[in-house]
Structure 1
Amino acid sequence: MIRSHHGPSRTCGNLPAVLAAAGCALAAVTAVDLALPASRTVLALLVAVPALGALWPVRDRHVLLVGAVDLVFVLPLLPRHWDDLPHLVVTVPLGVVCTTGVVALAAHRRARAADAAADLRVIAETMQRAVLRPVPPRVGRVRAQVRYLAAAGPVQVGGDLYDVLDTPFGTRVIIGDVMGKGLTAVEKAIDVLGAFRELARREPGLPGLAGRLDDFLAVRDPDQGFVTALIAEIPADSATVRLVCCGHPPPLVLSGGRIAFVDDLPSSPPLGLLRLSVAEERDARDPCPAGAVTLGAGDRLLLYTDGVTEARDADGAFYPLAERAARIARQGRDRFLDRLKNDLVAHGKGRRQDDAALLLLEFDHAAAPAGAAAR
């Protein structure tokens, strides 16, 4: 069983609060009971003190500690009520023991569930780090940067994926998002990236590459799980970037002072669903047609997952990517992606329901073809 969680347990951190609340309750009830005549009592209230452990996430041993302290307060008070209220000698201690046992059992189950969720996240994040390796800073005539934000929550790790490869056909790039969350999504992301890394070096055309990835998913996941993906190809001797968009958000072009979405790409279903639409919509030989955009030296292409554009602020408004990217770009080229990432985090105030990936491709001044202009 994995128990490599970083930092002190939240349940241990809550112990002082539970002890403080229990101490205040015990002191108050004891003081009131001593102020009353022996024929009257409020000791029955002490039965509820161990239940304070249910108000904060604590370990079962902490609940047992509170129950033991409770008994230390209760037992010395019982003799003064022996003559007038003899039943208290049995009922109050028994009530404290029963309440402690029930709350300790609940705390034990809650802690086990929290540990299991934390273990699942550790496993998923470890798998993600293994597969989402850093992109090379330069491939061919493209400089690449990536920033990744995991979703908030104990089991919300998602299936975002990306990679940049040097192939015989030029620089090939993929960014995608697997349907679902947790280990299943991470495993599928690993499968897709593995297939892309192999097929991208052998398949000459992007539509064919997308079709092969779709075939791979159909065999690997016959239950029709899907992956949205954007695949790009930057030839070494051309200013034209070829793109296939399989159900994925369009990229953003940053050319000089102009920023615009490449929203005229041919639309295709996500990977895993391409073949289902072939008979009705397209020739089976071309299930995912390619589009193109012409970029010049110094132009940038921003690829991203829907966790970016679907991030919401406190009022429920989506993140305005083009508007914020334009504003940040006016501040200069340095640390553009870091500033955009920080702005995205500030927009959602840390409450991310989905993973978010930002992949920036910059066309090198020295290596770009002369005379190319942004489209």
Structure 2
Amino acid sequence: MSQLPVPRAVHAVRAAVVLGIALVMALDIALRATHPGVVAALAGVAALPLFLPSPRRRSLVTGAATFGATLLLGMGHWRDRPIVIGATLINIVLITALARYLGRPSAPCPAEAAEPDHLRNASSWIGNVRVEMRALPADSTGRMTADFCDLRPTPFGVRLLVVDFMGKGTETQEKAASLLYRWARVAGETPGLAESARRLDSLLAEEDLFAKALLIGVADDGTTTLICCGHPPPLVVADGSAHPLSLVSLLPPLGLFDLVDHDIPIYATTVRLTPGRRLLLHTDGASDTPDAKGALYPLASRAGALDALDPGVCLDRMAGELREHIGASARDEALLLLIECAPQAAASVAPGSPAGTSGGDIADAAA
């Protein structure tokens, strides 16, 4: 999948910044100063984060360093060039503020683009891989801010990311959009899930963020590879029963790898999804939220009991039970996903056909 597009407003801001720098440099040259244009050109350094992928925190460091350098260089020529030096300093401050504001992903937050009913239900086919998703938003608006997922085809097979952020509200929405934007690039560029996890961890650590996550890759033959980063392990559902998948290793949440070990080893767990064998993924809200009496929803036993049903019907039933179980006391979001691989002979539903939606639809629905 290609990189997400940059909005026209960002292009307009970049053009205005370049024009402003050019005007100040032209003014400096017109005044026939010594070393014309040199001090004014420093504003271009502060503008670099607008044109290069850079965390918001780094744009502040760049702006502060450029402001200090301009101030030191301008002190000796202040009497001769007060207008140019003053305009350059103001330019740097404005550019740094813009770079910090625009230093987040330009992709819109899917949670804001989706309707509440669409947020709760999504179905997707990619080749012979089927993913059903049901979500229970914790607030009355029906919008999810912390739990989200993304399913997409890549050159390395089907990739799925399930994330549980801490917190709620607009700030958490921005974090979710940021991680989704970065995952869209990483998933299509890195052949191994371990490398993808390490890159996402580094990107989140740069912005002092962390998130519990599951990274999953599904091959055409049903071989499924998982890396669990502080997230509840999936349930393997087969023959009327469900049990947690035995993980090779449980990693800390993304963004916190270095707190455990700078070169922490990353081991993937592999399971084969043969016909009749499913994988149930869930966030904490589905397994750890008690009812009014303090009892937890029996996720594993219910998944096993409903195993004979179609995946969509199964999750509809479980989501309804979970909503009734939690009731009005819900304080957390809950996400349920069921993955199965149809036999090759039955894999005739293509992405975008009436029987299923494209791989990107789940991202739009749940993020």
Normalising to structure 1: TM-score of the pair? 0.58
Q: Aligned partners of 1:334 and 1:304: how far apart in 2?
A: 15
Give the superposition deviation at 1:132. 7.0
Q: Aligned partners of 2:312 and 2:232: how far apart in 1?
A: 25
Q: Does 1:313 align with 2:291?
A: yes
Q: What residue number does 1:194 align with?
A: 181
Q: Aligned partners of 2:123 and 2:286: how far apart in 1?
A: 22
**Structure 2 vs 1, CA of residues 367 and 141 (structure 1 numbering), >3 Å: closer, same or farther?**
farther
Q: Aligned partners of 1:328 and 1:350: how far apart in 2?
A: 25
Q: Aligned partners of 1:361 and 1:335: how far apart in 2?
A: 13
CA contact (8 A) 1:124 1:183 kept: no
Which of 298, 310, 329 is the aligned partner of 1:351? 329
Q: Aligned partners of 1:235 and 1:213: how far apart in 2?
A: 22
CA contact (8 A) 2:123 2:133 kept: no
Q: What residue number does 1:329 align with?
A: 307
* Residue deviations 1:284-342 (CA, integer Å, cap 9, x gap): 5x3x3211112212321111111100121110111121012122335665611100100
SS at 1:338 equivalent: helix
**Structure 2 vs 1, CA of residues 254 and 367 (structure 1 numbering), >3 Å: closer, same or farther?**
farther
Q: What residue number does 2:269 align with?
A: 291
Q: What residue number does 2:320 align with?
A: 342
Q: Aligned partners of 2:150 and 2:119: how far apart in 1?
A: 8
CA contact (8 A) 1:246 1:270 kept: yes
CA contact (8 A) 2:243 2:300 kept: yes
Q: What residue number does 2:237 align with?
A: 254
**Structure 2 vs 1, CA of residues 196 and 253 (structure 1 numbering), >3 Å: closer, same or farther?**
same
Give matches, 1:1-375, under 5 Å.
127=112, 129=114, 137-152=124-139, 158-219=145-206, 221-222=207-208, 225-236=209-220, 238-279=221-262, 283-284=263-264, 286=265, 288-330=266-308, 335-366=313-344
From the CA coordinates, give the structure whose radius of gyration is larger: 1
SS at 2:246 equivalent: coil
Q: Which has the higher contact order (CA 8 A, sep 6+)?
A: 2
CA contact (8 A) 1:156 1:354 kept: no
* Alignment RMSD (CA, Å): 2.9
**Structure 2 vs 1, CA of residues 268 and 218 (structure 1 numbering), >3 Å: closer, same or farther?**
same
Percent of counterpart pairs with the same letter? 38
Q: Aligned partners of 2:316 and 2:120: how far apart in 1?
A: 18
**Structure 2 vs 1, CA of residues 317 and 175 (structure 1 numbering), >3 Å: closer, same or farther?**
same
**Structure 2 vs 1, CA of residues 128 and 290 (structure 1 numbering), >3 Å: closer, same or farther?**
farther
**AA in 2 matched with 1:250:** P
SS at 1:201 equivalent: helix
Matched residue count: 238
**Structure 2 vs 1, CA of residues 212 and 125 (structure 1 numbering), >3 Å: closer, same or farther?**
closer
**Please, which runs of 5 or more residues in structure 2 have no aligned partner?**
1-107, 348-367
**AA in 2 matched with 1:313:** D
Q: Aligned partners of 2:125 and 2:110: how far apart in 1?
A: 26
SS at 2:189 equivalent: coil
SS at 2:188 equivalent: coil
**AA in 2 matched with 1:346:** E
Give the superposition deviation at 1:368. 8.8
**Please, which runs of 5 or more residues in structure 1 have no aligned partner?**
1-122, 370-375
